[in-house]
Chains A and B, each alone.
Chain A
Amino acid sequence: MSAPAPNPRAGAVSAVLASNRLGIPSVVFFVMAAAAPLTVVAGGATTGYAVTGIVGIPVSYLAVAVILALFAVGYVAMSRHVVNAGAFYTYVSHGLGRPAGVSAAFVALLAYNAMQIGLYGGFGAVLADYLAGRLGWAVPWWACALLGWAVVGTLGVLRVDLNGRVLAVMLILEIAVAVVFDLVMVAHPAGRVVDFATLAPAHIFAAGIGAALVTAITGFVGFEATVVFSEETKDPKRTIARATYIAVAVTGLLYALSSWAMSVATGPDRIVEAARADGTELMFTLVAPHVGPTLVDVGHLLFITSLFAALLAFHNTVARYLFALGRERVVPAALGRTNPRTGAPLFGSLTQSLLALGVLLGYAVAGLDPILHLFFWVTVTGGLGVLILMAGTSAAVVGFFARDPHEEPAWRRALAPALATLALVTVLVVTIREFAVLLGVAPTSPLRWLFPASYGVAALLGLGWALLLRAARPRVYAAIGWGAASATVPPPPTVPAAARPASHARV
């Protein structure tokens, strides 16, 4: 963080406050570490090719980056006008009403848990592969996953966030390695022709593209966290907006470049086949003949650390969602308590860890595949949940500004969010229609409905819970969406019992 030049006219208060605030780089590094570029490039893109069999993955990343940038316009604008700006359900409660907000909160809890727990599959399998390949140790994937789980759980309770500088260095290394690998792959194209076929926009309208689009969205999850810092930045009006666009642009270009480079190295017609054969090793296999083993090793290690950084980031996301909801007393108030010594959302963190442990043990006992059934299926289901949330949030932005424009220009408050809603809902519909392709199962498989339906159940539970709160605990209901600031919400006006019409009498 660089210190700004002191404004000679500003007083001591402004100077002190500015010195403690975040600049654009801090925010970008924080959210991009959660998005974990190497995890997406080496893990998400390759598995995406393999499972969906769609070659349009690179252009999907670009298309999604454009949609998300459009979404960010209204999202960032609204973040300046709401408290507890870090959580999607806040936007939904302020824009579409509290019942919808609680529905969104439940969907978010499911989605971020799915993102996090799914990543354990990737982490476990990749670490186990690495140990077997390098050291000849035969460790089952679930043992590696449990190791990661223990470390994440401990760091979560102690609230040891990875140090900002460590994250920044790791992130820059990850990006550097990915770019070097990309250049190597493009320099050694299959059949000596650099083919741009996988970037053709025509793929966007091809059958099965929904699967590719939601795979791409999954890769961006985490970028929405920029607004968490809206109260902590030097210039709330510009820092958050710029950081968000930078994060979307850099990740989008990197993902598209890398997934395209892989298709160049294998040839577009062979990419799916190669991805099915090599899985998450594909990128390393493709560059290994052209670079030294050291660089491949560094790439492997960074892949593992990036998976770990993502695990920790999503663990903290879930813990903080539970904390905010606990402070509102929408969920038990104990979840809103922190470890006094560290400020870790204690019970939120433990709850997430317990859930993850249950799922991991279940997968280990059932003998399911960590990459396909856990990493890919569960994280893209998480991506689907975040897609639902983004569509809902985008609609909420329109609703929020329709009631009060807050002096925002029409582009930010109406036009961009409306277009983004339309785009996101379209992607959502296409995705759900093609969920069988995404999972790689037969169109008749009940699984294709089971995964999306879980969000319907979560949303209905949230709706029911909100209506219950409205009837039984109006004070809690009034503060929905306010997170840590819920105590500042004035209690709802109480109607004297005698003045209340009989039909509204409390039962």
Chain B
Amino acid sequence: MRLADRFYLAAHHDVTGRPRLHARAMAYGLAAGLLAELLYARRILIDRGRLAVVDRTPPPDPLAHTVLDHLVTEAEHTGVRIWLDFLSHDAGERVGQRLWRQGLVRREESRRMWRTATVYVPADMNVAAWCWIKLATKIKRAEELTPEEVALAGLVVQTGLDAHVLAGAPRAARDYLHELTDAAWPPLRELLVQTGVAIGGGVLSSRT
């Protein structure tokens, strides 16, 4: 499963598919997940707040391909923050659809407050729960994480999802989590920091 998919499932309720995060944290977490996928696929690089495409080879995943296309077409925008802002606009819908195409979620129409919204409900709650329980277990046992798991852990910290993932965990687990993300691969750490700033900025301007 891809990084943004795992973050999506971790950030939504395993059974109902309801979000565990406020809209802004969810949107920027998913946007950062999409950029991190390209980062790990060595298509882009991030340095001092700037993002550059280093390899235009289309990734096999259609969504990653689309995102890379955007980055290539409008290469005049180099700020990481601009791309986070842009991708956050519909990252939830795009990642939800990718999960749906893989058969990992079902689409359900939900009617709330006179509005119809599409909710992506996990097809298998065990698969959904595994996304975060596996991470939580590894962190609690202070085991070494794979690079992608470090990225997921970073998104969890920056979006505030750690309150859920590490609920009831001892302080040592939290310290280990922060240690991991502080020591992350520098381009990833920059992406994470920018994500946190974007979410925190939303708190200050009450646009969460």
Contact = CB atoms under 8 A, between A and B. Distances in A.
Interface of A: 11-13, 16-17, 19-20, 84, 86, 159, 161, 228-229, 231-232, 316, 320, 323-324, 327, 337-345, 483-485, 487-488
Determine the main DSSP class of B at the interface with A: helix
B205 A228 contact: yes
Interface of B: 19-22, 24-25, 49, 70, 73-74, 77, 82-83, 85-86, 89, 159-161, 163-164, 193-194, 196-197, 199-208
Given A13-B77, A13-B82, A17-B86, A343 B24 contact: yes
A344 B89 CA distance: 21
A159 B203 CA distance: 10
10 contacts: A13-B82, A16-B89, A17-B86, A86-B204, A228-B204, A340-B21, A340-B22, A340-B160, A484-B197, A488-B194
A343 B83 CA distance: 22
Contacts of A341: 19-22
A181 to B, nearest CB: 31
Contacts of B70: 12-13
A320 B85 contact: no
Contact of B205 (A232, A344, A488): A232
Nearest to A87: B204
A345 B161 contact: no
Nearest to B160: A340
A483 B200 CA distance: 8
A86 B205 CA distance: 8
A-B pairs with the 5 shortest C-beta distances?
Answer: A343-B208, A484-B200, A343-B22, A340-B160, A485-B197
Contacts of B20: 340-341
A228 B74 CA distance: 29
Given A337-B160, A343-B22, A323 B203 contact: yes
A229 B205 CA distance: 6
A161 B206 contact: yes
Given A340-B161, A487-B193, A488-B197, A159 B208 contact: yes
Contact of A338 (B77, B86, B193, B203): B203
Contacts of B24: 343
A15 to B, nearest CB: 10
Contact of A483 (B89, B161, B204): B204
A379 B13 CA distance: 44
